[in-house]
Amino acid sequence: MILVAGSANLDFVVRASHIPAPGETVLGHDFQTFPGGKGANQAVACARSGAATTHLLLALGSDAFATPIEASLRDAGVHLHTVRASGLPTGTAFICVSDQAENAITVAPGANNALRAGDLPALAGFSHLLLQLETPLDTVAAYAKMARAQGVTVVLNAAPARALPADLLAVVDVLVVNEGELTTLSPLPGTLAQKLERLGVPCGVVTLGARGCCAHQGGRWWLQPGFAVNALDTTAAGDTFCGTLTAALSRHESLAGALRQASAAGALACLRLGAQSSMPTQAEVDAFLQTQPEASEHALATLQQYCGLAP
């Protein structure tokens, strides 16, 4: 079983020709609400992979915004451990998606800030704990330490970007970051590979958008070029990657196989609007991968050079 502990938001999404600059007003041409939040998104991605039973520890307000979030999670087959935050609203996110599929996001955490160390359910039977940084940092650190002490594999998606205490990094088994988050954690000059290696985690993964991803484990490097798709909305592509990666690792896939599965799922999530609504099933990922050739030597060499691994 996989336990995800993290945020749940209701996303308010406006599509527009471009993301407004400071002081600029842009007329949008579509508006919808979608269940979101990094914790909830990653739990849905885990559950849709079909690899393992997925549980989610989350905090919600006693308001109408909580209802569609809970419905979406239950529809995906996620088992809920809900903290009802008295006096706090359910978390929300305000998202502008451009016609070029880029997005800008502002999050109001609300009830997500109510999660505390004592809320973590018993970990017996769980193989992996998946965490993010949209809930209080001291709570995230407490969960990671409790999981490590009980032999549960700790996966941390260090997003949104923020500096992390050394005692938290010391109990992380798998760290997933994008390029900006990697620079926040490893700010000294160097290549992507050097920055990732400096962190000293047992397994580090950096996602590179359309380029793909790079991973380091046990002194070895793995490269997975991205899959070309006509993106509609990149919202939650990273969350889809994290949830799918954790699910694949929980079923004992090799790191190379897990990266390929996660990259394919992240690419497919860009084809539909919204966060949880865009996430593919394992059957969709498998069907997509059957149409994709193995990475070419040119693609691998290009990615190797970008990461600073070229000889």
- % of the chain surpassing 90 pLDDT: 80
- At residue 178, does pLDDT exceed 90? yes
Confidence (pLDDT) at 233: 77
Indicate which residue of 11, 119, 233, 239 is catalytic: 239
Model confidence at 276, pLDDT cuts 50, 70, 90, reads confident
Query: Is pLDDT at 271 greater than 90 in this prediction?
Result: no
Q: Comparing 22-31, 216-225, 266-275, 288-297, which segment has the lowest mean pLDDT?
A: 266-275
1 Cβ neighbours under 8 A, 6+ residues apart: 52, 53, 54, 55, 125, 126, 127
Q: What is the mean pLDDT of residues 96-101?
A: 87
**Could you tell me which of 211, 142, 144 has the C-alpha nearest to residue 175?**
144
Output the pLDDT for position 235. 75
Supply the pLDDT for residue 124. 95
CA dihedral 122, 151, 276, 295 (to 10 degrees): -170
Is 302 contained in some domain? yes
Per-residue pLDDT at 170: 96
Domain that holds residue 259: 2-9+36-91+113-307
Q: pLDDT band for position 232 (50/70/90)?
A: confident
- The DSSP result for 258-285, as a single string, is HHHHHHHHHHHHTTSSSSGGGPPPHHHH
Residue 152 Cα to chain centre, angstroms: 19
Mean pLDDT across 11-24: 92
Q: Are 269 and 244 in contact (CB under 8 A)?
A: no
Bond from prior residue into 160 cis (ω within 30 degrees of 0)? yes
Alpha helices in the chain (DSSP H): 38-49, 66-75, 137-149, 166-169, 179-185, 192-198, 237-250, 255-269, 282-290, 297-307
Q: How far is CA 11 from the centre of its chain?
A: 16
Residue 63 is a catalytic residue: no
pLDDT at 241: 96
Looking at residue 119, the DSSP 8-state letter turns out to be G
Domain annotation covers residue 31: no
Give residue 101's pLDDT. 80
| 274 pLDDT more than 80 | no
Asked if the structure places residue 42 within a domain, the reply is yes
Question: What's the number of domains the chain is made of?
Answer: 1
Please state, rounded to an integer, the average pLDDT across all residues of the chain: 93
- How far is it, in rounded angstroms, from Cα 160 to Cα 3? 20
Is a pLDDT exceeding 90 seen at residue 296? no
pLDDT of residue 37: 93
**Residue 106 maps to a domain:** no
Amino acid 56: pLDDT: 98
Q: Per the domain annotation, does 198 fall within a domain?
A: yes
Residues 6+ apart with CB under 8 A from 265: 45, 49, 240, 241, 243, 244, 279, 280, 285
Provide the terminal-to-terminal Cα distance of the chain, rounded to the nearest Å. 41
Report the range out of 20-24, 47-51, 204-208 with the highest average pLDDT.
Answer: 204-208
pLDDT value for 277: 77
pLDDT at 247: 95
Q: Looking at the domain assignment, is residue 234 inside a domain?
A: yes
Look up the pTM and report it: 0.93
Point out the least confidently predicted range of 19-23, 170-174, 191-195, 232-236: 232-236
d(Cα 263, Cα 82) in Å, to the nearest integer?
Answer: 30
Burial class (CB in 10 A: 0-12, 13-18, 19+), 177: buried
Q: CATH code at 204?
A: 3.40.1190.20
pLDDT class for 103, splitting at 50, 70, 90?
A: confident
Number of helices (H) and strands (E), helices first, in the chain?
10, 13
pLDDT band at 283 (very low <50, low <70, confident <90, very high): very high
Report the C-alpha gap between 36 and 59 in whole angstroms.
Answer: 13
Of residues 145 and 87, more confidence is placed in: 145
State how far the Cα of 226 lies from the Cα of 267, in Å rounded to an integer. 8
Whether 21 is in a domain gets the answer: no
| Whether pLDDT at 258 is above 90 | yes
Residue 207 pairs in a beta bridge with 178, 213
Could you tell me if residue 16 is inside a domain?
Answer: no
Sole residue written with tokens 């609203």:
89
Hey, what are 103's tokens? 């997005």
